[in-house]
Structure 1
Amino acid sequence: MTFLEYAVIGFFIGIITTAPVGPVNIMAIQHAVRSGFRHGVFVGLGAVVADTLYATAAIFGVSAVTRFIEGQFDLIEIVGGALLIIFGLKIWNSHPHLNGGDDGKEHGFWGDATAAFFMAITNPGTILAFIAIFGSLGDWRPDHDNYFGSLMMVAGVTAGACSWWVFISATVTHFRSRIDDAWLDRANHIAGAILMIFGGLIYLKLAYDLIR
């Protein structure tokens, strides 16, 4: 695969792992509604830093592990697919609320970005999601010695996450009068469905490989 293809895959991983509505999404939406587009983006960028660190640790960690378990890719994909389906179900069944979790105080762009960073970096589900996704990519993941390919995939993750925050902040700012808990539920249903479909496709690939 080319470096551009790795970056594109990373881009979509960045969107998939960022889109589920959790505390940081709620915080970004709240600030976009109250203070406009730029404030919402700044909140998201704090989480992007955490996601980039976790994505880097996950992809290079997975690459290092595969040196010792080169004959166990099927097992990695089975576990990764199961985790994606579990994460997808959890996200689908969660019910975030726009009101609550914020004391109404404004801390400035950098203060809110820092708060979002710590909210994201202390969420163990983030690193587990990246490990599950990278571990289940199979041939779509860079080889363990393809360091530039791995960096391109991480760069794609960062670009995808940034694109999500720009999109969500712009959307919320434009439709701020229409955002409610039902809208957040629909967003989680879409993100959860994508993760479950991704996990299901992994099992279809494994089944195809068995009967081929």
Structure 2
Amino acid sequence: MAPILKGIILGFSIAAPVGPIGVLCIRKTLDQGRIMGFAAGLGAATADAVYGSVAALGLSLVMQFLIKQSIWINVLGAVFLLYLAYKTFRAPIRHDHAPDIARLNYMKTFGTTLLLTLTNPLTIVSFVGIFAGMNIASESDQSLFLVLGVFVGSAIWWLFLISIVGSFRQMMSTRIMKWINSLSAFILLGFGMYSLYKTFM
């Protein structure tokens, strides 16, 4: 199998499990449309590609730093989740008649999910193990195609998820969206508290 196809399968598999990123993407899609939801998904896909690049290119110094500082990076990620839970609970409900406001937030949404995904440095350990199992040399062109495939596979998953969720957007009344915001905030709060517990225990 070609390295890029392996990467696509790997990227899709890594992105598919529902976690805090999935919650954010679903909420953004229902609240502000498919493009905003996909912007969030691309942030996660970019972070996967970054960690995939570090593992595939054998950047051992970067890997060692991330692993040594994993506790503090995880704490940062947990605090960021708690902050997002608060912001989500307080977030106003946007409507179709305010596209200019949403457009200004595309890069902010992208950056939020990029940062949140990067604050899970142990993901790189998984990439190292998987890439080693594929027996692809770090200096070869195959590693670059594999990383590209990871990004594409992750982006495909987010596009698939956003397309399905977006089809329900027109059914969402303001009351339902307020309920979804509260539920999303509670889920993000749970992920943040669990991450802190796991880090210190």
Bin for the TM-score computed over the shorter chain: 0.5 to 0.7
- Could you tell me which residue of structure 1 aligns to residue 56 of structure 2? 63
Q: 2:176 pairs with 149, 173, 178, which one?
A: 178
Instruction: Trace 1:169-208 onto structure 2 (pairs within 5 A).
Output: 169-174=166-171, 176=173, 177-179=175-177, 180=179, 181-185=181-185, 187-188=187-188
Q: Secondary structure at the match of 1:19?
A: helix
Change (3 A) 1:133 1:60: same
| Structure 1, unaligned runs of 5 or more | 32-39, 201-212
Structure 1 length-normalised TM: 0.56
- Are 2:9 and 1:8 equivalent residues in the alignment? yes
**In the alignment, does 2:117 pair up with 1:126?**
yes
Pick one of 12, 18, 22 that aligns with 1:19. 22
Q: TM-score, normalised by structure 2?
A: 0.59
Matched, 1:165 2:162: yes
Q: How does 1:3-152 map to 2 (within 5 A)?
A: 3=3, 4-15=5-16, 16=19, 18-21=21-24, 26-31=27-32, 40-64=33-57, 66=58, 68=60, 95-96=85-86, 100-102=90-92, 106-108=98-100, 112-113=102-103, 115-121=105-111, 124-129=115-120, 131-141=121-131, 143=136, 144=138, 145=140, 146-152=143-149
CA deviation string 1:63-110 (max 9, x = no partner): 33x2546xxx8x7896698689757855875634656445957135xx
Amino acid corresponding to residue 124 of structure 1 in structure 2: L
Letter in 2 for 1:107: P
CA contact (8 A) 2:39 2:107 kept: yes
Q: Which one-letter code corresponds to 2:37 in the other structure?
A: G
Cα offset, 1:182, TM superposition:
4.0
Aligned residues: 181
- Could you say if the C-alpha distance between residues 30 and 97 of structure 1 is closer, same or farther in structure 2, counting changes exceeding 3 Å? farther
Question: Separation in 2 of the partners of 1:98 and 1:81?
Answer: 26
Which residue is equivalent to 2:152?
Answer: 155
For 2:116 and 2:15, the matched residues in 1 are separated by: 14
Aligned identity (percent) is 9
Q: Pick closer, same or farther for the CA change 1:30–1:68 going to 2, 3 Å.
A: closer
CA contact (8 A) 1:46 1:116 kept: yes
Deviations 1:113-161 (A, max 9, x none): 55222332266333334x5413433322364232222221111111122
Gaps of at least 5 residues in structure 2 are: none
Q: 1:184 Cα shift?
A: 1.2
For residues 152 and 193 of structure 1, the distance between their equivalents in structure 2, rounded to whole angstroms, comes to: 33
For residues 164 and 86 of structure 1, the distance between their equivalents in structure 2, rounded to whole angstroms, comes to 28
* Cα distance in 2, alignment partners of residues 84 and 163 from structure 1: 30
